[in-house]
Structure 1
Amino acid sequence: MTTTTRSAVVIQHDPHIHLGNLEPLLRARGFRLRIVDPKVSDAAALDPEDGDLLIVLGGHEGAYELDRFPYLRGELKLIRSRIDAELPILGICLGAQLMAGSLGARNYKADTIDYGYRELELTDAGAASPLRHTRGVAMLEWHDDHFELPEEATLLATSAGAPNEAYAIGDFALGVQFHPEVTDEMHDVWTADTESSLHRHGISIDDWRALRDEHNDAMQTASAAIFTEWLDAIERRSDAERLSDAGRRTP
């Protein structure tokens, strides 16, 4: 494990929708974390090349609700500039939708909610990616929006609940619709926040928590493996670029 000091800019839309189990992995690798609330700080004013990694987390917003949540436009600009620069970026749920939207793909309201645990269907590319660690594991879904796949993206996984569960852009960007980052504490808070919606869709709180208890251990193991393998890859990429830059500067 590297101890090189690195930095990550984290776009966090809600205090309860945070890095979760990803945070200790990042800190163990020496990442300094800069948390940005896009409702307070204009994401468009951020330097798209700042940080070794940009992470865009989930939120209650719809990526298509630009008039209702105008700060999303700043995020789209930041994300597009980051992608154009081919610099590492990770998008989770809303973050993945915004990544797709920044490249011109359509985001839209789903016909039904997708709450629960689902096994992903990996594409050939997905089976050769960090997503391979989800094979046979039910991952947490908590969304009611979908997005179309950008032309620049490679589909890694789909599911019965979402046509596009995960995708890559080159070797530097990963977008996931599901929630690999969720901890027990986050699950409890989200459950309390959405209890009325769960009831409205015929999901009892006891059954919902029983599902968590059934699938959580395997999901946490898979999530750690996904994040670890992907972070390893982007760190190798970053280190190789630094060495290349240093070589070009050597007289």
Structure 2
Amino acid sequence: MAARRYWFVLMAYGAALALSLPLYLRPGEQCVPGTGCGVGISSPVGVLGSYELARPGVLQLYWAVALLLTTAAATWWYRRAGRLGRALPALVTAGVVSLLTVVLTAAEWHGFRSPSAVVETAELLLFNGATPLVVSALALLALAAGERSAALAAFAVLYGGVAYVAATYDSLYVLSGLGLPVDVFSDPAGVRQLLGIAAPAALLLLAAGAAWLLPGRQRSIERPSSITA
């Protein structure tokens, strides 16, 4: 069953994001009333700039290794299942997007000169804190095509939307927009960027758990009928 295969990929990307969370901590900031505090709430080129983090070099190294290991793990898993061809579109997509990010970042590409926010979003291909979100979202869409799975395709679209919001909107602003009592201007714990990664990570891990459990539940329902017969 397809879900028994792709749950592993969901889990691998989710675990890689979850393990990276400490690297997204920033120095805390407190807004003192009357000082004219301001914060950028959204940007089509991304709000998860690694240069704002305490150890941007460590984050870059982590994702260089983690994305490589995730692709290798997915290759091993699908080869073990005898369905490597089903994962090939996702593996190629993850590899090409990762390589493109390395090349564009090394070349100091500054994006397309266009007033369109949609076109400016291409700058997310430069290495930044949202790079794993871009790679994983595109890889999951490709995996859904390879698996011919409508369920995975629907989830990949949902995840892509969440990843895009996490990459281009300030997490505290989003939480405030959802009605939670959050101070958008102050971040004493330094978790502004961490929260932007935590939500996609949690979504992937929950989906992985659901995909892993679903086939087992179906078998448990079918088994009594076979015994009765």
TM-score (norm 1): 0.28
- Computing the radius of gyration from Cα coordinates, the structure with the larger value is 2
Higher helix share: 2
Higher strand share: 1
